[in-house]
Each structure stands twice: as structure tokens, then as C-alpha cells.
Amino acid sequence: MDDAKDKVLTYLNHVSKSMTTVEIANSLNLSRSVISNYLNTLFKENRIKKISGRPIRWSKNCADVSERTSSFCNFIGYDGSMKHVIEQVSAAVAYPPNGLNILITGNSGVGKSFLAKKIYEYAKQIKIIRSNSPYFVLNCADYANNPELVSSMLFGYVKGAYTGADSSHNGLLLQANGGYLFLDEVHRLSSENQEKLFSFIDNGIFYQIGDNSHPIKSNVRLIMATTERPTDTLLTTFLRRIPIHVTIPDFLKRSIDERLTLLRYIIYQEAVKLNKKIYVNNQVVSALVQTNNRGNIGYLKNLIQIACSIAYKKQYGLDQIDLSMDSLLIDKLPDFEDYGDLLIDGQAAFIFNEKNSLKNAKFAQLMTEFHKLTVDFSSDNVQKVKSSIRKINQLLENSCQKTGLYYRHQELFKKIIEQQFGLNKTSYLEPLMFLFYEAK
């Protein structure tokens, strides 16, 4: 029952409109009485909304959706440049009865493999697949010159299928049954293997090499990735079987706050390895955050790792490693942009979306105090507002929010608010204004 109930919940979470009991039952191919029972149970658990009327309609509970999509919360940009991508792939996972195949495009090093693994984790989180469901990866580029080998790896073979086949072997399509198979660099699949694969997608069955008499069924979900233009490298008939196409942008095309967060996280990973604090001056931050290389985030990781190893050797025995320009192996430096400096502590927990954690802590209280002030502008209420602002400033004081965009916001605040408008006693409001700016 729990699996069916979760399927109802997942379906409602990924449709854009409210639906009647009959509509949901028809969509999921379940009886009306069964669906009605699940819907009422979910409503009592406060996991869906019930809209009164004739007939009664049901819709998702946005708070529950947010909680259940937490698998993507550490995919940087999930609430920014990647928001639409995350919405598409999460809907593909939940689409009944067995999800939709997904194609991820993007240049090398942008995070296609990372996203594929997150999709798998999300499917487990919302109980579309079991917690012990398999996840296999095949990089098609590794075997591009041997399409027969790729075919045997995908579909398996029977004993005696070819010279050296001394025993039967299950392919990845069967090994990944009930879970996910990720085909990286899928454009390197031969036309013949693409045809075999889209035949499997259509029918849910395949044949092992050397046996055309015994079809094998497998319920495997496919995620594919390519660095190439799909229409140039994949068969049209194959592409038609992949309804969800998403693209991950290059590092330099991400927003500055996402690039800074990515930078912080990569450096944080090195700080954890070294069990030390890592200080990065503003010149290094400027160079790294403007990295323009075809390797994207993968290149950036290597660049930072090498820089950390050089600095570690020079500063061996110190509690803190300082990254400076002499540790950075970059041939051509971009123009300097001051995004502030960074101090990363490998012993502290990394917060992916710090603005939300800060905002949630005291922001609601401040809004309540502001509302009271509009009704009663008394000195007591004014002091309460000031007190709330001080508490937020204290939270920001030791926060990595004081880098990157926040640093630039400080400069603009001084230039426009304090200097241009002459409001030179308002600097205490600057952190609050930044949070208002971020609260979109």
C-alpha cells in the first residue's frame, strides 16, 4: 500500500493543476475507491491539499514538495540557473508508470554525471524505486572503437555466442533492472546499438547476443549524456524515445553567486582533506571565478587541487594554508574583479544555501516587527525592530555570506546610499537590505 500511496503523492507533486479523484485514478490506472482512500490518508497527513467543491479536487502541498526534493539541494544552482532543469528531471522521475528517459547535454566538466546520480538518489527518496535499486554507469566513449563489445556489455551474451564466450553473461540492461543505467557520452554508440536500444525502449525486452529466441524483460530507467549536439550525432528515431532533454550551462555562464558557491565548495573539499583552514585572497578568487576553460568545473577542481598542493608543500606544518597567485598555474589572467576573499574551514559544515538558513532564522520575526510598526509607531516597537536587525547582523558577522555578492553589495551601498544620497548613518541596514534583495 505504501508504494501505491507514494505513487499518488508523487503524481500530484508533479502536475501543475488540481485534479479530481476520477482524473487521478484514470491517470494512474487504479480504481476510484483505492485512490480515494489514499487521497484522504495523504490529506490527513497534511501532505496534499483538498479543495472543496463538486467534485472535490486535490493538489500538491508546496511545503511537502520542497522537503521531498531535497536530494537536489546540494546541486548548486537548483534554485537558480538549474531550477527549470531540476523541475524537468524530477517530473520525469515521477511520471507514471516507469518514468521518462532523460538526455543531459552540456560541455565537458559541467556536472552531467553528478546530476545523473542526483536523479537516481531522488528516485529513491520519493520511493519510485527501492532503496537498494542498482545504479550502473557505462561511458560509451571508452569502447567507441569496439561496438560489438559495447553491445555485449549492454545486452549480455550466451555461452558460445563468439570465440571466448565460455559462459553466459548478463548485460547492464538486466543488471540495472529496477534501477538506473547511465550512458555517458551516448553519442559514441554505433547506429546499430542505438537501434537495439530504442527497440528495447519501445518494447521493454531485448535479446542477448547469440540468442534470438528468448526475449528478456527488464524495467530499467535510462539517463544519457552527451557533449555533442544530439541532432548531429544521434539517430532521429533514437532521439524520439527520449522525451526529456536538459542542458547544463558552462561554468562561466552561471551567475556570479553560483560560481562563488561552486568555488567555495571545491575549496571546502580540499580543506576537509587537509584538515586545515584555507585562505584565498581576492586576486585568486577573481582569477578562479572567471575561469574560462573547456573543462569547466572539472578543470577548476584540478586547478584548485594543484594550487592547494603547492601551497601545502610551502606551508607544511601551519594550521592554515594561504592560496596566493604564485600557487595558481594559469597562463592568462582575466581582468581583476574584486569579489572579496575567502576563508574556508574544513572542520565546519558546508552550507549550500546560506542565505535561506540565515533568512529563515530571524527574517520572519523581523517581518512581524515591521508589521507591528506600521500599526503602532511607538518607541518600544522601533526598539524591537532595531533588535531584530542587530540579531540578523550578528548571524551575518561570521558568515561566508560576507564574500562575493555580499562584498559587492557593501560597495554599492556605500557608493549609492551613503555617498550619493548622503545617508551616512545607515550602514547597519546594509546586511538587511542584502537579505531583502536575495529574498526573491
For the stretch 42-67, pLDDT in tens is: 887 777 888 877 888 888 775 555 55
Alpha-carbon distance values, 405 to 81, 229, 257, 268, 437 (Å):
16, 34, 6, 19, 11
Q: Taking 70 as the threshold, does the pLDDT of residue 362 lie above it?
A: no
Q: What is the dihedral of CA 345, 351, 353, 358, to 10 degrees?
A: -90
Region 72-101: mean pLDDT is: 89
Q: Taking 80 as the threshold, does the pLDDT of residue 38 lie above it?
A: yes
Q: What does the pLDDT read at residue 262? A: 93
Q: What does the pLDDT read at residue 396? A: 58
Q: What single string gives the DSSP state of each residue in 25-62?
A: HHHHT--HHHHHHHHHHHHHTTSEEEE-SSS-EEEE-H
Region 355-360: mean pLDDT is: 48
Greater confidence, 41 or 202?
202
Greater confidence, 306 or 408?
306
Q: What does the pLDDT read at residue 69? A: 53
| Strands (E) located in 276-430 | 277-280, 320-323, 342-345
Region 175-198: mean pLDDT is: 96
Which class for 1: exposed (0-12), middle (13-18), buried (19 or more C-beta within 10 A)? Answer: exposed
DSSP 3-state assignment of 171?
Answer: coil
> Helical H runs in 204-321?
230-233, 236-239, 256-274, 282-289, 296-314
Q: What does the pLDDT read at residue 436? A: 61
Q: Taking 80 as the threshold, does the pLDDT of residue 163 lie above it?
A: no
Return mean pLDDT, the chain: 85
User: By C-alpha distance, which of 413, 406, 409, 403 is closest to 282?
Assistant: 403
Region 374-390: mean pLDDT is: 80
The model's pLDDT over 226-246, given as tens digits with 9 standing for 90+, comes to 999 999 999 999 999 999 999
Do 221 and 262 meet the contact criterion of CB atoms below 8 Å apart?
A: no
Q: How confident is the model at residue 257 (pLDDT cuts 50, 70, 90)?
A: confident
Q: How confident is the model at residue 361 (pLDDT cuts 50, 70, 90)?
A: very low
Spatial distance between the Cα atoms of 217 and 205, rounded to a whole number of angstroms: 4
Q: Taking 90 as the threshold, does the pLDDT of residue 107 lie above it?
A: yes
Greater confidence, 327 or 138?
138
Percent of the chain past pLDDT 70, that is, above it, reads 86
Percent of the chain past pLDDT 90, that is, above it, reads 47
Q: In what order do the strands lie in the sheet with 48-51?
A: 19-20, 57-60, 48-51
Q: Taking 50 as the threshold, does the pLDDT of residue 289 lie above it?
A: yes
Q: Taking 90 as the threshold, does the pLDDT of residue 159 lie above it?
A: no
Greatest Cα pair distance, the chain, in angstroms, is 91
Q: What does the pLDDT read at residue 168? A: 85
Do 362 and 391 meet the contact criterion of CB atoms below 8 Å apart?
A: yes
| Strands (E) located in 147-232 | 156-157, 169-170, 180-184, 205-206, 216-217, 221-226
Rounded (5°) CA angle 389-392-396: 135
State the cell numbers at 149: 563489445
User: By C-alpha distance, which of 198, 190, 195 is closest to 143?
Assistant: 190
Region 138-159: mean pLDDT is: 92
Alpha-carbon distance values, 167 to 19, 146, 150 (Å):
53, 21, 18
Spatial distance between the Cα atoms of 177 and 185, rounded to a whole number of angstroms: 21
Do 194 and 234 meet the contact criterion of CB atoms below 8 Å apart?
A: yes
User: By C-alpha distance, which of 377, 366, 369, 338 is closest to 431?
Assistant: 366
- Output DSSP code: residue 294: T
Greater confidence, 257 or 252?
252
Sole residue written with cell 542505438: 194
Query: What pTM, to 2 d.p., does this model score?
Result: 0.73
Q: Taking 60 as the threshold, does the pLDDT of residue 97 lie above it?
A: yes
User: By C-alpha distance, which of 73, 76, 79 is closest to 266?
Assistant: 76
